[in-house]
Structure 1
Amino acid sequence: MTAHVVNPILNVSDFAASVRWFETLGWEKAWDWGDPPTFGGVRSGACEIFLCLDGQGGRGHGGVAATFGPDGDQTADRGAWMSIWVDDVDALYERCVASGIEVTWPPTDMPWGVREMHVRHPDGHVFRMSHGIHDDHEHPHPH
């Protein structure tokens, strides 16, 4: 088997609010289905994530402030975790802080060669936003 595209599907409690949340990050609504919409997609460049109202996966904010670190808990949230590679983690961090997006791990140089931050969707989905520490900002081979 050769996979051509992977589209994660996130269970969301409010479809329209989730689209707006992604738009705050700089994504755009790609399409939706239903009236009112209960399914659809958001995209950034060639990447697309599907959103499903009340189904197709778990969700749930874990109630912890941090997702990494000594006071963090990477097992508390009931939503999906995704690793997303971006051009500039620090610029994204500034955008998130200015827009009120919940940051659960600030930009940090990690021992595996990436600068990484985490943001959490209100339904408990966590996004590991990363770029390579090297000047080209490309992600390293999996460790």
Structure 2
Amino acid sequence: MENESKNLQPVFMQAEPVLAVTDVTASVAYWHEVLGFPAQWKWGNPPVHGGVSWQGVGVQFALEPQLAAASKGNSVWMRVKHLDVLYAMHRKNKAEIVYPMENQPWGMAQYTVKDINGYYIHFASAIMEREKSGVTLPASMRIVARKPEIAEYRSLQHSVGWNSSLDDLKVQQALAAALYAVVAEDTESGEAIGCALLLGDGQTFYYVKDVIVRKDWQNKQVGTAIMRALTDWLDHNAAKNAMVGLYTGEGLERFYKQFGFGPAYGMIRHTPSPEREL
């Protein structure tokens, strides 16, 4: 055991800048409402510390007025995927963009926001990543806002190796429970080649379920188009700050991160099977 401990190496999990501010509550509100960071927290009454986070990237704020006055002009640099989407949101939210988005000679596209404390926040993406951020769909594919039929749903599940013990009535009930759904169709054959369901209370909580793309259509941007259609619907119909969850298989985290999903702590319980009940 002693030799094993000697061979251990530190594993860095997270790094967050701590910015000195004159008003923690206002700083958290600005980063949440204008810059778009969804998670927020405050400590103290009145707050003397707080922070925001987005997909594992966090910023903290400490109530230190004297240091805040001396720290104006300091900056934070953040690398972002789909930079154009974030830039459009910041323009819409009327963030103070002091340097518009431009391709820089060091290979990054970048723009700069000045926050309410006088800090400069640089948002950047590799030029190559930005150029590849558009989705080019196969010419023979389209996304339709509808629920899959029972036969389509079973066929898609079978194509990816999912086995279901539900009879047709229960499958129909499960599909009917979806608030919204999309189906990717092959326009030449008319077949369903992918789907996704969205469950929830219609206001504050949603759950993305059964994102499926038929095996022979995978790695062709079909899943990306499906998720983009779902998140577009959420952006236009869900309540502000609604929570949207999903479970994903190992190795798919990067795929879902591009749509704003991040890791979260949680728990799960499966109901017992009929065999266990007996």
Using the size of structure 2 for normalisation, the TM-score is: 0.40
Q: Percent identity?
A: 26
How many angstroms apart in 1 are the aligned matches of 2:56 and 2:26?
22
For the Cα contact (< 8 Å) 1:89–1:107, is it kept in 2? no
The 1-side partners of 2:81 and 2:66 are apart by 30
Q: Which residue of 1 aligns with 2:47?
A: 37
- TM-superposed CA distance for 1:3, in Å, is 6.8
Larger relative contact order (CA 8 Å, sep ≥ 6): 1
1:103 aligned to 2:97? Answer: yes
Equivalent residue, structure 1, for 2:28: 19
Partner SS for 2:105: coil
| 1:10 corresponds to 2:38 | no
Q: Distance in 1 between matches of 2:16 and 2:66?
A: 12
Contact 1:80–1:126 (CA<8 Å) still a contact in 2? yes
Show the 5 A alignment for 1:1-143: 2=10, 4=12, 5-23=14-32, 24-55=34-65, 57-59=67-69, 78-135=72-129
How far, CA to CA, are the matches of 1:54 and 1:101 in structure 2? 24
Q: What SS does structure 2 have at the residue aligned with 1:37?
A: coil
Q: Is the 8 A contact 1:107 1:117 kept in 2?
A: yes
Higher strand share: 1
Q: In structure 2, how many angstroms separate the alpha carbons of the residues matched to 1:18 and 1:100?
A: 16
CA distance in 1, matches of 2:28, 2:76: 17
CA-based RMSD of the aligned residues comes to: 2.4
Cα distance in 1, alignment partners of residues 91 and 84 from structure 2: 11
Normalised by the size of structure 1, how large is the TM-score?
0.73
Query: Higher helix share goes to which structure?
Result: 2
Q: Deviations over 1:45-64 (max 9, x none)?
A: 1111110122594446xxxx
The superposition leaves residues 109-132 of structure 1 with CA deviations (integer Å, 9 ceiling, x where unpaired) of: 001111000001111111110011
Distance 1:10 1:54, change over 3 A: same
Aligned mates of 1:29, 1:59 — CA distance in 2: 26
> Matched residue of 1:134: which SS?
helix
Deviations 1:57-106 (A, max 9, x none): 4446xxxxxxxxxxxxxxxx724311101122222222122111100110
Are the structure 2 counterparts of residues 83 and 56 from structure 1 closer, same or farther at C-alpha, using a change threshold of 3 Å? Answer: farther
Q: Judging changes above 3 Å, is the alpha-carbon distance between structure 1 residues 86 and 37 closer, same or farther for their aligned structure 2 residues?
A: same
Segments of structure 1 that go 5 or more residues without pairing to the other structure are 61-76, 138-143
Contact 2:68–2:117 at 8 Å: present in 1 too?
Answer: no
- Structure 2 gap ranges (5+): 1-8, 134-278
